[in-house]
Amino acid sequence: MNLDEARERAVRLVEEINAHDYNYYVLDSPVISDREYDLLKRELEKLEKKFPQLVTPDSPTQRVGGKPLETFKSVSHTAPMLSLDNAFSINELWDFVRRIKNYSGIKELEYVVEPKMDGLAVSLLYKSGVLVRGATRGDGYVGEDITHNIRTIKSVPLKLRERVDLEVRGEVYFPSKAFQELNDRRAEEGYPLFANPRNAAAGSMRQLDPVIAASRPLNIFIYGMGSYEGFPFRTHMEMLKYLKELGLRVNPYTALYTDFDLVVETCQSWAVKRYELPYEIDGMVIKINDLEIQSLAGYTARSPRWAVAYKFPAEQVETTVEDIQVSVGRTGALTPIALLAPVKVSGSVVKRASLHNEDILREKGVKIGDRVIIHKAGEVIPELVKVLVEKRTGNEKEFVMPQSCPACGQQVAHIPGEVALRCMNSTCPVQMYERIVHFASRGAMDIEGLGPAVAKMLWEKRLVEDVADLYYLKKEELVALERMGEKSADNLLEAIQDSKKNPLNKLLYGLGPRFLGDKGSKVIAEHFGSLEHIISASTEEMIAVPEIGPKIAASIVEFFQNPSNLQVVEKLHTAGVNLQQSQKQGEEGQQILEGQTFVLTGKLESFSRSEAQSRIESLGGRVTSSVSRNTDYVVAGENPGSKMEQARSLEVRVLTEKQFQEILTAKTGIVD
């Protein structure tokens, strides 16, 4: 292929991949399989490697690139990024609408209402449709250039669908579940915790190294433009429609009203419904829809008169710290836990709140018996906000972190550079129990029926001393356990047997080297192909793998230099556990499920959940966790649950396990 042919092909690939990014990350409606997408991207990477002059700013390969910055540059916004005035009550909302009617002299208004994201406000500048700069709000006039991090957000288009010059404003946010998982990892690894998803988003965007931002599942909603002069729309809703047509992500819950009573009702209803969202909102934003009226109303020195943010009442609850206990994680980190008098917060009863580490415990000054205020950080994680010192009686007791592990009695230590105290005993019983729970978890070996309660019984009865022992369990041993009947024992043994077929990345993640997540496990497994090659790899070879940094690389090498870990690997091999990252079925065969989306629900008899997912993905299909109009099939096993009803209401075809097998049998002949 000559340069001209390569350039023509590269242009087509960039356009095609960017279109697929929009379908997947903005619309949540992919039209090709993950494998097809990976092949397109791999082809583009090979072309750009062979012809470096073909690399363009809007190429998907350039989302993460370049060396870390030494410092942030200051940039001026094309139009001020002003903050919004807040309304903390319904009366203040009505004051807002009365003021705007007085300013404009217009009594019949339209209102745009949208969720107020609790993230980091940013501006994105496009020239001829290509992203050239991302910046923080800063003081509203001058922000920091964070282009290198903005480019890592997959829902941010590197190239718009029209060659236009414009600056748009949006909110970068951290999904609630991902935030909790990030803080759990940081606590386990001894790092300081983010206070809330907003801080996590801001901290991620202010990383000098874009690889760190890229490792976090950030997202964005675009809510407006810096300047709209010269554009044809006359209302805010028309603007949002135009931005969406350009390929930008707009919040689907944005709504238009002509009756302000309905605006108020909407704000009040979202104060309750917000807990159903996968991200945190702290209020609702109300804007005048007509852009001419916006212009007429104008601005104060710090905010527009034509918009207001209704802030939800913060739900903070008072309770008592009845005790403080210390838990030990699978990597040995000691975490103080406040045991609370049960209290309902944000829709659920809270009995415990993590105090994270000794530094935070001391900073908050918590004593046993204290009256405290708690809330849910990010509306998800119970957090102790403050101690009500004025309510102390003198009967409160100081708590001192133990100098020996509460599980095994061995001395604990502070590792340089880490916050948490850590038990260094590799045979610590609680660490071993936590490793078994992690090994059996859905993200790892996905052993159904092996939850914390069963894992604890197996450990306490000394039936399992390391994860490899799971594959040597006997039925008579299981039946002897409390509440473990023959059927339950059979099901557990079958699930353990099924897990032997999992790909290597699941096993690697389940073994649990520090700092290594499920994504990194997949990258490592696909790069080296076998556990044998991973074990023999040097730190330098690990660092050479894309997306694997020095800390993860050193951790993996250290993990497999430990003789006890190598002994576990040998036992797994003897038990017949797969130690290879098997080639995907269909790479040389037919991808008969290409472009089709499946949802799995209920217990399947012939497959474990992970095996069924692997079979679908190996044939070009995609498995998602929720049913939508974009779902092609729901595969229903025993006790399918609510997903079955969702499928019926959306008229999505439901397959029995037998029908699912017949599809595979008829087209591939790989099912007996």
pLDDT, tens digit, 9 for 90 and up, residues 309-328: 998 876 788 999 999 999 98
Write the CB contacts of 482 (distance below 8 Å, at least 6 apart in sequence). 457
Residue 499 CA to residue 521 CA, distance in Å, equals 17
Q: Of 121-135, 439-453, 578-592, which one has max mean pLDDT?
A: 121-135
pLDDT digits (tens, 9 = 90+) for 366-403: 999 999 999 876 455 788 989 999 999 999 999 999 99
| pLDDT score recorded for residue 651 | 80
Q: Exposed, middle or buried, 574 (CB in 10 Å: 0-12/13-18/19+)? A: exposed
* DSSP 8-state secondary structure symbol assigned to residue 38: H
Q: In the predicted model, what is the mean pLDDT of residues 455-472? A: 91
Average of pLDDT values for 265-284? 89
Fill in the amino acid letter for 519: K
Give the model's confidence band at 80: pLDDT under 50 very low, under 70 low, under 90 confident, else very high. confident
Q: Is a pLDDT exceeding 50 seen at residue 519?
A: yes
Q: What is the pLDDT of residues 402-455, one digit of tens each?
A: 999 998 998 898 877 777 888 888 678 888 888 999 999 878 998 988 988 898
- pLDDT of 112 > 80? The answer is yes
Which active-site residues does the annotation give? 116
pTM value is 0.52
Give the pLDDT confidence of 48-68 residue by residue, as tens digits. 888 888 888 778 887 765 555
Q: What is the DSSP string of 520-568?
A: HHHHHHHHH-BHHHHHH--HHHHHTSTT--HHHHHHHHHHHHSHHHHHH
The pLDDT score that the predictor gives to residue 459 is 87
Specify the pLDDT at position 367: 96
Q: Look-up: residue for tokens 């990477």?
A: 45
Average pLDDT over residues 467-494: 91
Name which residue leads in pLDDT, 476 or 613. Answer: 476
| pLDDT tier at 337, thresholds 50, 70, 90 | very high
Mean pLDDT, to the nearest integer, of 635-649?
79
Q: What is the mean pLDDT of the chain?
A: 86
Ordered domains of the chain (ranges, CATH): 3-62 (1.10.287.610), 86-311 (3.30.470.30), 317-414 (2.40.50.140), 429-575 (1.10.150.20), 597-668 (3.40.50.10190)
Model confidence at 667: pLDDT above 80: no
Task: Round to whole Å and give the CA distance between 80 and 143.
Answer: 10
